[in-house]
Amino acid sequence: MQKSRLLQISLALVACVAVSWGQSDSIEVEPRIPLNVFGDVNSILVVWSIPDSVIVESVAVFRSLHPDRDFYLLDQFESQQTRYLDVIVEPDTHYFYRLEVEPVESDIYRSSEATPPFTSMADP
């Protein structure tokens, strides 16, 4: 009898947890823009893709010498452009990039802030 009662209580607790878990608020995930960078002899090409459903109001490209701080606006433009050529680069210097795409009718899309892509100029 006592084992049966413990089993009933355990099942009731599991059911309560399952129901409360199902009613929890969903986590909003901010849309991310895939971003890649490629070093060349005299420049760095920054490439991204934007979903076809997004109508772009503006795109902002940011750069830093550090992966987690001191990003500054490199350029901003109004177009569906998906490439940017960074020609103001120094040899033997790693550059980290971030991107923000502002659509006409929704929240800003960003590239990953936790793991920004980086590269340097290619050796000649």
The pLDDT value recorded for residue 29 is 59
Mean pLDDT of 1-9: 57
Classify residue 17 by its DSSP letter: H
Q: How many CB atoms lie within 10 A of CB 117?
A: 20
Question: For the segment 10-56, what is each residue's pLDDT rounded down to a tens digit?
Answer: 555 555 545 455 554 555 556 789 999 999 999 999 999 998 888 99
The pLDDT value recorded for residue 99 is 96
Tell whether 6 is covered by a domain: no
Please report, for the domain that includes residue 100, its CATH number.
2.60.40.10
Which residues sit opposite 84 in a β-bridge? 46
**Residue 84 lies in domain:** 35-119
Tell whether 24 is covered by a domain: no
The pLDDT value recorded for residue 107 is 86
Residue 72: pLDDT above 60?
yes
Tell whether 21 is covered by a domain: no
Tell whether 4 is covered by a domain: no
The residue written with tokens 């947890």 in the block is: 17
Domain count, the chain: 1
The pLDDT value recorded for residue 120 is 86
- 101 within 8 A of 54, measured Cβ to Cβ: yes
What lies within 8 Å, CB to CB, of 83 at 6+ separation is 45, 46, 47, 48
Question: For the segment 81-118, what is each residue's pLDDT rounded down to a tens digit?
Answer: 999 999 999 998 999 999 999 999 888 989 988 888 88
Continuous H helices in 24-118: none
Tell whether 72 is covered by a domain: yes
The pLDDT value recorded for residue 24 is 47
